[in-house]
Structure 1
Amino acid sequence: MARKLLTKPRKTASQERSRATVGALLEATARILVKEGFDKASTNRIAEVAGVSVGSLYQYFPGKEALVAAVIERHRQEILQTVRSELAKAWTLPVEQAMRKLVAVAVKAHRVDPRLHHVLTEQIPRVGRLETLETFGRENFALFRTYLESRRDELRVDDLELASFVCVTTIEAVTHNAVLHHSKLLTDARMDALVEETACLLIRYLKG
């Protein structure tokens, strides 16, 4: 029987020194994931790179899965801080402008530490809190659905739940692949064109 993965920290760092220790552990975990891969990210290796004892690591985290989950959460928060205000603006715009804004925001989100984003989304085992890391999570999916409802009279689509799924999935797939797999091919000018072409695709789908 497979062991249950523990993805929650043992305790929260409250003092400055303990926060510094946890920060060093998360930095070390992220560095190892990017340079050496998930399999090499043992607790001993993480502690070594962080410059702390394994005992100190285990004071805060039960194992490497909990450390990786914490790295995922930290990365998610960095993305949210980068795009939150721009996403909020998108929900107030007409459909044509909103789609362009949403695609551009997704590109920006994927450019937040893209090497780490690539590892976390494509190489980490899909279990527990490690299941996925998306620019448009459940909250933003719900906001997208609410936005379409507010613009229903402008749209040709009837099933807004399905339309939300199609649009959000398209934005995530296109921007993820563009930034993480074709960054050398897509110059800034081409990335602008990609935003425009993807937005046009969504606008034609939504409005005909």
Structure 2
Amino acid sequence: MTRRPLTKPRKIAAQERSRATVDALVEATARILVEEGFDKTSTNRIAEVAGVSIGSLYQYFPGKEALVVAVADRHRQEIMQVIRGELEEVRAQPVKQAIRTLVATAVRAHRVDPRLHRVIAEQIPQVGELEDLEVFSRENYTLFRAYLESRRDELRVDDLELASFICVTSIEALTHNAVLHYPELFSDEAMEALIDEGACLVTGFLISR
């Protein structure tokens, strides 16, 4: 029976010097993943790039899989920082403007280190603890569902739970697949077209008759 890799840190860095060591290890892991891929990422290589002894690495992480999970967690937090503030603005916006804001926010979130995003999404399914890199978490889905409820009179749809699922899934799939397979859409000019057309798609579903 194949043993599952350990994906939890051995301990949490509490002191400033320890946190700097962990940050260097996570940053080195991210760099190697992007430049060399998951298969060539090893604890020895990570320690070398980070300028940290292999003993110090194992003091905090049991193996490269735990470091990869730490990279994914950090990347997810960076994405969330992009969208938290902007989602609050949606509450007061009319439907067309709100949907465009949501699509634009998803696009900007996927522009956070897109090369790393692709590596995490495509190259490392063997790390079992990794969750999907979704921009719209359950919390944000709930906020969107509440927004639709507040605008119910403007919508053509009746089942807001289903409508929320369709809208959030469509926006997520559109932007996630763009960063994975069509990176050219993230140039400044193409990005505006992507936002406009994506917003038209979702808005048409919600309010067109």
For the aligned pair, the TM-score class normalised by the smaller chain equals: over 0.9
- Equivalent residues in 2 for 1:62-141, closer than 5 Å: 62-125=62-125, 127-141=127-141
Alpha-carbon spacing, 1:2–1:152, altered in 2? closer, same or farther (3 Å) = farther
TM-score w.r.t. length of structure 2: 0.92
Q: Which residue of 2 aligns with 1:148?
A: 148
Alpha-carbon spacing, 1:67–1:94, altered in 2? closer, same or farther (3 Å) = same
In structure 1, what residue type is equivalent to 2:92? T
**Do 2:26 and 2:70's aligned partners in 1 also have CA atoms closer than 8 Å?**
yes
**Do 2:185 and 2:194's aligned partners in 1 also have CA atoms closer than 8 Å?**
no
Q: Which residue of 1 aligns with 2:169?
A: 169
Q: Which residue of 1 aligns with 2:6?
A: 6
**Do 2:184 and 2:190's aligned partners in 1 also have CA atoms closer than 8 Å?**
no
Residues in 2 aligned to 1:129 and 1:21: alpha-carbon distance in whole angstroms: 23
Deviation of 1:183 after TM superposition, in Å, equals: 3.0
In structure 2, what residue type is equivalent to 1:195? I
**Do 2:106 and 2:135's aligned partners in 1 also have CA atoms closer than 8 Å?**
yes
Q: Cα deviations across residues 140-189 of structure 1 (Å, max 9, x unaligned)?
A: 11211121122222211122222111111111121223344323356422
TM-score w.r.t. length of structure 1: 0.93
Give unmatched runs, 5+ long, in structure 1.
none
Give unmatched runs, 5+ long, in structure 2.
none
| CA RMSD, 1 decimal | 1.6
Aligned residue pair count: 208
**Do 1:8 and 1:61's aligned partners in 2 also have CA atoms closer than 8 Å?**
yes
**Do 2:26 and 2:71's aligned partners in 1 also have CA atoms closer than 8 Å?**
yes
Q: Cα deviations across residues 176-208 of structure 1 (Å, max 9, x unaligned)?
A: 233443233564223212211111111110112
Residues in 2 aligned to 1:45 and 1:127: alpha-carbon distance in whole angstroms: 18
**Do 1:110 and 1:180's aligned partners in 2 also have CA atoms closer than 8 Å?**
no
Q: Which runs of 4+ in 1 moved over 4 A?
A: none
Alpha-carbon spacing, 1:182–1:22, altered in 2? closer, same or farther (3 Å) = same
Residues in 2 aligned to 1:48 and 1:185: alpha-carbon distance in whole angstroms: 35
